[in-house]
Amino acid sequence: MQLFDRTLLRRRRDRAAPGFSAHDFLIRHASEDLAERLMAVNRSFPLALDLGAHQGALSYAPLPEDKIGAIVETDLSPAMLSGPEQKVRQKARPLRLAADEEALPFAEESADLVTSLLSLHLVNDLPGALIQIRRILKPDGLFIGALFGGETLSELREAMSLAEIECEGGLSPRIAPFTEIRDLGGLMQRAGFALPVTDADKLTVRYATPMHLLNELRGMGETNMLSERRKTPLRRATLMRMMEIYREKFSDPDGRIRATFDIHYVTGWAPHESQQKPLRPGSAKTRLADALGVSEKPAGEKSGPSEE
């Protein structure tokens, strides 16, 4: 079963494209974070691919000119790529093409760096996409991804559920399930990345009203695109009740409401022999006991408290 309707995602992004620059603060936030992460890596990247780039994510990152050579940007929505306000900080204009992260059109071992900011939470097959990304990387190539996860929009989810139960006597899927951070590390490892690292950056954004939050989500092209979503529009009474509940439960003393965006970062390297890795079992040249300055006991004899 397909969880996400990718055709609908494309339409949402097409529609969001003209006004996207008013709603791209999370991408910009993530691209500044991305720049910091790249600066911590002591090398440059001749060819970088930015997948699901919206109107440019890596090309906006504040990086010195010699850090990245060419940037290739993809997005599912061609309209998004040719959007009005390209925010390009890099000197070389990025090359653009429309592509789906679920079926990437790049040759194996072609890129030195792959980045993807706030797009991969909407693929149906995240493990498959990660495997494709690892294959596209040259040996010792780097992948840095950011995706919405965990607690993202937990307030909206709760308010919506309560309102639906109250007004319609049931629930419908409205907000996507997000990947938990503990799952991401495992996915990276299974996709064959070396030295995978995951971490989260939880942001609280405040809005005047829940309606402002919904408008922002629409502007970002992030409104409900679950395949199983209810095809009839949300009833007005339910929407009103949702906003009431949201206000009651998640507003600050000044009346503004809180919304959580939980951005999860994943980093991993395409394997290369120069990377640190565990030695083969039995290949040690020094005895652990010597290193620890203790006497070695035969196997089977527990040195700690017995387990009986």
Partner 1 sequence: MANATGDSQPGIDRKLLEILVCPVTKGTLVYDKERGELISEKARLAYPIRDGIPIMLPEEARNLDEESSPA
Which of these ranges, 78-86, 119-127, 189-197, 290-298, lies near partner 1 under the rule CB under 8 A?
Answer: 78-86
Q: Find the binder of partner 1 among 1, 40, 107, 291 (CB under 8 A).
A: 107
Per CB under 8 A, 14 contacts partner 1: no
Phi, psi of 282 (to 5 degrees): 85, 0
Stretch that binds partner 1, among 30-38, 90-98, 144-152, 177-185 (CB under 8 A): 90-98
Size of the site for partner 1 (CB under 8 A): 23
List C-alpha distances in Å: 75 to 95, 104, 167, 212, 215. Answer: 12, 11, 38, 26, 22
- What burial class does residue 36 get, using C-beta atoms within 10 Å of its C-beta: 0-12 exposed, 13-18 middle, 19+ buried? exposed
Structure tokens at 132: 């494709």
Nearer to partner 1, 82 or 204 (CB): 82
Contacts with partner 1 in 29-68 (CB under 8 A)? 47
Please tell me the distance from the alpha carbon of residue 205 to that of residue 260, in angstroms, as a whole number.
Answer: 6
Q: Which of 16, 35, 61, 111 binds partner 1 (CB under 8 A)?
A: 111
Q: Say whether residue 97 binds partner 1 (CB under 8 A).
A: yes
The reply to whether 99 sits near partner 1 by the rule CB under 8 A is yes
| Sequence-ordered list of residues with C-beta below 8 angstroms from that of 306, at least 6 positions apart, any chain | none
Nearest to 59 by CA among 25, 31, 26, 20: 31
85 or 180, CB closer to partner 1? 85
Tell me the C-alpha distance between 238 and 174, whole Å: 13
Scanning residues 136 to 195, which ones bind partner 1 (CB under 8 A)?
A: none
Please identify, using beta-carbon distances, which residue of 96 and 121 lies nearer to partner 1. Answer: 96
Please pick, from the candidates 18, 62, 84, 105, the single residue that binds partner 1 as defined by CB under 8 A: 105
Say how far apart CA 78 and CA 97 lie, in whole Å: 7
Contact residues for partner 1 (CB under 8 A)? Answer: 7, 47, 70, 72, 74, 76, 78, 81-82, 95-100, 103-108, 110-111
